[in-house]
């Protein structure tokens, strides 16, 4: 069955989905706003907005106090951890909240780095966002050797042979992205975890870009750490780290003395953003509701999340087919990353392009005037833009789709981009 047909038989109810996101109704210069900026941050459903304001209106307090709002806050934090545990398939005490993925990763690299020195090695990849690169590279200060696996320029996939070569008995940690925020490649992280484990090294997965597009199962992956950011999967601006309990217990965090020694709180610095954590709980509940729309017979929250992801996957795949076919028909346009429909299981709906004669900023600006929100530049995937030699000339135009985008938006975007390119030639 063709994907377009499969799509019509799935239960992804895009009209219902869009009705949940108030910001999607905006206009720009009288034209409907089209949010193709998901890789930079997604919109939030009404229940997330309500949870944040509801927390501030009723429960606003610090933790551990002997009174009602503080107890309510403690309960909400426990529920939010359990919800994220269901989202990632781990236990609640393996969930660490933080300001964002970057700061959580720096905190973890500092702690892991306490035990490392000359002779130890860390393997990174050149396809990663800098947030899963620089925090580890900083350990060169301690004499740690950093190695970086290459990616294939032609299709922007990780060079797995090179990665395997870099991992040796001296490797202590392998850090890899689940999906590239620049070119959309989905990496074979299960294989990377296996290679790391085989060498006795820890694995650290950056799932920030992958989380809105695909199901994450840290138990099945058997990774040691996995970081993501709720603002990329329809929640508020915060970061979430999964750490295997044994590591969270054994490693020594940098922390202030009065803070508890018990996990996961010992990994959390200062007072957290409670209202946003209330929003994270609501965000997971949104995923659950989405899944129950797709599969009303889902019983547990995790089952509903699994169902949500399979319908999201089919929807995004169909949008990807339409978008790539249309992009490749635009004169002078070059797509970076996988363009072959037979390999769309190795990519998500994030498209990096350049058009001859136009800078990415010019294109993003012209599209922005027409209501299309895209991005230009390197989006902190600096090694990618450097290796592909586009860093000096403005990086890429990035068009990023998520489940609330529609086929009509893709058609309008292709028409607008085609017109911009034609008008300027």
Contact residues for ligand PLP (CB under 6 A)?
100-102, 129, 131-132, 177, 181, 206, 208-209, 229, 239
Please name which of 253, 228, 210 lies closest in space to residue 101, comparing C-alpha atoms: 228
Q: Which is nearer to ligand PLP, 121 or 206 (CB)?
A: 206
Whole-number Å distance between alpha carbons of 322 and 139: 44
The CB-of-227 to ligand PLP minimum distance in angstroms stands at: 7
Q: How far is the CB of 378 from ligand PLP (least distance, A)?
A: 11
Tell me the torsion sign for CA atoms 18, 20, 25, 26.
negative
Closest CB to ligand PLP among residues 101, 195:
101
CA–CA distance, 35 with 374 (Å, rounded to integer): 7
Residue 10: CB minimum distance to ligand PLP, A: 27
In this complex, which beta carbon is closest to ligand PLP, that of residue 74 or of residue 106?
Answer: 106
CA distance 200 to 172: 7
Shorter beta-carbon distance to ligand PLP: residue 221 or 355: 221
The torsion angle over the Cα atoms of residues 340, 341, 342 and 348, rounded to 10 degrees, is 90
Q: Is 46 exposed, middle or buried (0-12, 13-18, 19+ CB in 10 A)?
A: middle
For the chain, the residue count is 425
If the CB atoms of residues 375 and 404 are measured against ligand PLP, the closer one turns out to be 375
Query: What are residue 145's DSSP bridge partners?
Result: 121
Q: Which is nearer to ligand PLP, 100 or 145 (CB)?
A: 100
CB 103 → ligand PLP: shortest distance, Å?
7
| Residue 54: CB minimum distance to ligand PLP, A | 24
Q: How far apart are CA 92 and CA 96, in angstroms?
A: 9
For residue 40, the minimal CB distance to ligand PLP (Å) is: 6
The span from the CA of 184 to the CA of 416, in Å, is 22
Alpha-carbon dihedral sign for residues 304, 308, 314, 315: positive
Rounded Cα distance, 112 and 139, in Å: 9
Q: Residues near 218 by Cβ (< 8 Å), separated by ≥ 6?
A: 88, 89, 90, 94, 226, 242
Q: Which helix (H) or strand (E) holds 355?
A: strand 350-355
Q: Which is nearer to ligand PLP, 239 or 291 (CB)?
A: 239
CB-nearer residue toward ligand PLP: 181 or 383: 181
By beta-carbon proximity to ligand PLP, the closer residue of 382 and 390 is: 382
Question: Where does residue 389 rank: exposed (0-12), middle (13-18), buried (19+ CB within 10 A)?
Answer: exposed
Smallest distance from ligand PLP to CB 241, Å: 10
Question: In the complex, what is the shortest distance from the CB of residue 288 to ligand PLP, in angstroms, rounded to a whole number?
Answer: 23
Cα–Cα distance measured from residue 374 to residue 380, given in angstroms and rounded to the nearest whole number:
15
Q: How far is the CB of 208 from ligand PLP (least distance, A)?
A: 4
């Amino acid at each position: 069955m063709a994907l377009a047909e499969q799509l019509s038989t799935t239960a992804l109810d895009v009209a219902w989905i869009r009705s949940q996101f108030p910001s999607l109704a905006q206009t720009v210069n009288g034209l409907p706003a089209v949010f193709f900026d998901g890789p930079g941050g997604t919109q939030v459903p009404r229940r997330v907005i309500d949870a944040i304001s509801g927390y501030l209106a009723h429960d606003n307090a610090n933790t551990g106090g002997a009174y009602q709002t503080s107890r309510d806050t403690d309960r909400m934090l426990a529920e939010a951890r359990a919800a994220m545990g269901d989202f990632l398939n781990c236990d609640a005490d393996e969930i660490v909240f933080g300001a964002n993925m970057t700061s959580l990763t720096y905190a973890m690299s500092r702690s892991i780095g306490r035990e490392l020195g000359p002779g130890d090695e860390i393997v990174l990849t050149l396809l990663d966002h800098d947030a899963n690169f620089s925090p580890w590279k900083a350990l060169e200060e301690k004499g740690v050797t950093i190695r970086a696996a290459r990616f294939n320029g032609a299709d922007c996939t990780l060079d797995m042979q090179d990665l395997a070569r870099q991992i040796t008995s001296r490797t202590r940690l392998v850090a890899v992205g689940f999906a590239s925020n620049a070119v959309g490649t989905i990496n074979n992280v299960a294989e990377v975890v296996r290679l790391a484990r085989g060498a006795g090294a820890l694995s650290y997965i950056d799932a920030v870009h992958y989380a809105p597009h695909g199901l994450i199962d840290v138990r099945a992956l058997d990774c040691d750490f996995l970081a993501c950011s709720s603002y990329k999967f329809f929640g508020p601006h915060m970061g979430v780290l999964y750490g295997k309990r044994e590591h969270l217990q054994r490693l020594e965090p940098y922390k202030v003395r009065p803070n508890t020694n018990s996990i996961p709180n010992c990994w959390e610095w200062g007072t957290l953003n409670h209202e946003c954590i209330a929003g994270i709980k609501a965000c997971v509940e949104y995923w659950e509701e989405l899944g129950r729309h797709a599969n009303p017979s889902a019983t547990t929250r995790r089952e509903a999340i699994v169902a949500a992801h399979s319908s999201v996957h089919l929807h995004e795949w169909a949008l990807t087919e339409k978008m790539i076919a249309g992009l490749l028909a635009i004169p002078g346009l070059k797509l970076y990353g996988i363009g072959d429909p037979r390999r769309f299981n190795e990519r998500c709906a994030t498209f990096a392009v350049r058009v001859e004669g136009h800078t990415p900023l010019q294109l993003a600006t012209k599209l922005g005037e027409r209501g299309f929100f895209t991005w230009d530049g390197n989006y902190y995937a600096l090694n990618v833009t450097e290796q592909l030699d586009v860093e000096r000339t403005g990086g890429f135009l990035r068009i990023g789709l998520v489940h609330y985008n529609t086929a009509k938006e893709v058609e309008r975007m292709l028409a607008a981009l085609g017109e911009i390119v034609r008008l300027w030639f």
